[in-house]
Structure 1
């Protein structure tokens, strides 16, 4: 089992192509490069799936003739993506596929996790049919409020473990612009403290725990705690 959630943010550029950005900063990679890497991984690991959160980042370059959603639909949205009808597909239905989490404008419908209005810097729930998409994404707060938000959301997730909804818990915290308040610095504390919380509370479900620097060997290892706790849902 691997780390399979990617927070992809794109800018529309000339020739109606999409490239990866973080704010105004070009990340020197195209969306095609990411998709090709994802497909290679899935070909070599066909029992896995990849969740690709996709949102528009920064203004389009002059000369772009389509919206980001139109470009994605017309150029990138191929058969490597899950295209079933379920808003809450089972893992067995999406193995070997990329599942789109649509964070674009919502003007075009795609299969996968549907577009919702994303509340900025908040914990929130949005109902789609009889189930909810629950999110903790308080990224622009100080350390202790973030730690409490993560743990409170883990408690909420655990208490609602069997209702079939999505529970998406972002551990990442944005940089304050200094070395001692960088995403890496925060991850070095929040990742192991979150793992310790999961391990100490006999959690039945952790949900989706989205972390920076997942491969770093800070002890206890958060990805191991999440995988162990969620293992009963991987059938």
Structure 2
């Protein structure tokens, strides 16, 4: 199937929350070795370019403030990428495929180094270089409003009274949760991010429960996000170990399902997994 511009087949008026979107958890860890951090650092094999070319439209970016710029981390581990590299990969892809939108979650990891600016201030430095690249409103847009843009989902605090700076992607820790990020418009986030499961079966149960909510919801203004990722250091369940079982199980269980899922986030995403989510937007593919 064609994955570079699959959003070109989706109507302009469709809310982003009604599109089934494949994403990657800790998207930039492909540069880590499998041995690093006892196998708990690496969560992806494909580069950002490969992820986007194969249909991924949600990137999970973890940043550290370093000399008042962003470098890319997973926890304390530097991934030999800077935020400029991430933005360049995204803008290059969008320039070639203007029908597409890339959703990007940004979260700070690791303590800052030699930085006087807040996360908000550092991000704004990047934003104001090319504001037309970004969609930074705090509501669920229609696809026509974000084609050719990066839609920001913010996992960092901003100064009270600031102008909107992306969807307020506030997370509760290691659980499933519901959060109203725009109270006047009643736009909501429903998320499963049970990332330290005590067993694979408990992780499966959390996934099933969240997808049941998305499947049965008639509220078009809820953004559903389901993370298939997870680890457990005590039980030595590495990202790769969990992904090998969860990704196969998910493809088998939901391979033919055409229902509403929202965003589905993978560790060790592969083309067949990304295409499985994309197909759910089209009855004839």
User: TM-score interval w.r.t. the shorter chain?
Assistant: 0.7 to 0.9
Alignment of 1:6 onto 2:59: yes
For 1:60-105, what per-residue CA distance to the aligned partner results, in whole angstroms no more than 9, with x for missing partners? 11x311111111112345321114x460101121011011100012
Structure-2 residue corresponding to 1:189:
245
TM-aligned CA deviation for residue 228 of structure 1:
1.9
1:148-163 alignment, distance < 5 Å: 148-163=205-220
Structure-2 residue corresponding to 1:81:
134
Structure-1 residue corresponding to 2:281:
230
TM-aligned CA deviation for residue 59 of structure 1:
0.8
Does the C-alpha gap of structure 1 residues 164 and 197 become closer, same or farther in structure 2, counting only changes over 3 Å? farther
Alignment of 1:213 onto 2:264: no
TM-aligned CA deviation for residue 131 of structure 1:
2.7
Counterpart-to-counterpart distance in 1, 2:157 and 2:103: 18
Aligned residues: 222
Corresponding residue SS for 2:65: strand
TM-score (normalised: structure 2):
0.72
Counterpart-to-counterpart distance in 2, 1:126 and 1:184: 30
Corresponding residue SS for 1:6: strand
Please say if residues 11 and 56 of structure 1, whose CA atoms lie closer than 8 Å, have aligned partners that are also in contact: yes
Alignment of 1:198 onto 2:254: yes
Structure-2 residue corresponding to 1:53:
105
Please say if residues 214 and 224 of structure 2, whose CA atoms lie closer than 8 Å, have aligned partners that are also in contact: yes
Q: Give structure 1 stretches of 5+ with no counterpart.
A: none
TM-aligned CA deviation for residue 205 of structure 1:
0.7
**TM-align CA RMSD:** 2.1
Alignment of 1:112 onto 2:169: no
Structure-1 residue corresponding to 2:121:
70
Counterpart-to-counterpart distance in 1, 2:163 and 2:169: 8
Match of 1:166 among 207, 223, 227: 223
Which one scores higher on RCO, CA 8 angstroms, separation ≥ 6? 2
For 1:130-157, what per-residue CA distance to the aligned partner results, in whole angstroms no more than 9, with x for missing partners? 2311010000112111011011111111
TM-aligned CA deviation for residue 161 of structure 1:
4.8
Alignment of 1:20 onto 2:72: yes
